C-alpha cells in the first residue's frame, strides 16, 4: 500500500496522472497546450488541489507550485544536474505553442529562450518570464 502511494505521488508530480488514470508516454507526447496562459502548465502537471478549479487558486500559489515542481525535477545525470526531460519537453512545447498562437511582441524572446543550451539558465529565465506567457 505504501509503495502504491509513493508510485501514485511520483506519477502525479511528473504530470503523468489525468483524472486518476496513468497516461502512457505516447499520450503525454500528444497532449497539446492551447497557448492561453501559463496556468496550463499547472494543469498539465496536475498541480491543482483536488476538487478545485483553476479559478479557486491564487496566481501566487500556482506560480510557486510550478516553480517547486520544476526545481524538484532536477536530476543528476552524466556528471551534471539536469532537468527532467519530460518537464523540459513540456516547457518547450508550451513556448512553441505560444509562438504559434501569438508570434507578436514576445515571440522573438520565446524563440531565443528555446535556443538556450544551459538548462539552469533556461529554467531561471523561463520562470521569470512565466507570468507573461499568455496569448
**CA end-to-end distance (rounded Å), the chain:** 43
| pLDDT bucket at 56, cuts 50 / 70 / 90 | confident
Judge whether 42 and 76 are in contact, CB under 8 Å: no
Write down the residue that cell numbers 500500500 correspond to. Answer: 1
Query: Whole-prediction pTM value?
Result: 0.71
Segment (H or E) for 75: strand 75-77
Phi, psi at residue 60, to the nearest 5°? Answer: -60, -40
**pLDDT digits over 28-50, tens only?**
544 578 888 898 999 889 888 77
Pick the closest to residue 69 from 122, 19, 15, 134 (CA basis): 15
Amino acid at each position: 500500500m505504501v509503495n502504491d502511494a509513493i508510485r501514485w505521488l511520483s506519477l502525479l508530480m511528473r504530470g503523468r496522472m489525468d483524472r486518476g488514470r496513468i497516461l502512457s508516454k505516447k499520450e503525454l507526447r500528444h497532449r497539446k497546450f492551447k497557448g492561453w496562459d501559463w496556468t496550463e502548465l499547472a494543469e498539465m502537471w496536475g498541480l491543482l488541489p483536488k476538487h478545485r478549479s483553476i479559478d479557486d487558486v491564487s496566481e501566487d500559489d500556482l506560480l510557486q507550485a510550478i516553480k517547486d515542481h520544476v526545481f524538484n525535477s532536477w536530476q543528476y545525470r552524466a556528471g551534471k544536474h539536469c532537468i527532467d526531460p519530460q518537464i523540459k519537453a513540456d516547457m518547450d512545447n508550451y513556448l512553441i505553442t505560444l509562438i504559434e498562437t501569438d508570434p507578436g511582441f514576445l515571440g522573438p524572446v520565446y524563440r531565443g529562450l528555446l535556443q538556450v543550451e544551459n538548462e539552469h539558465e533556461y529554467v531561471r529565465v523561463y520562470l521569470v518570464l512565466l507570468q507573461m506567457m499568455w496569448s
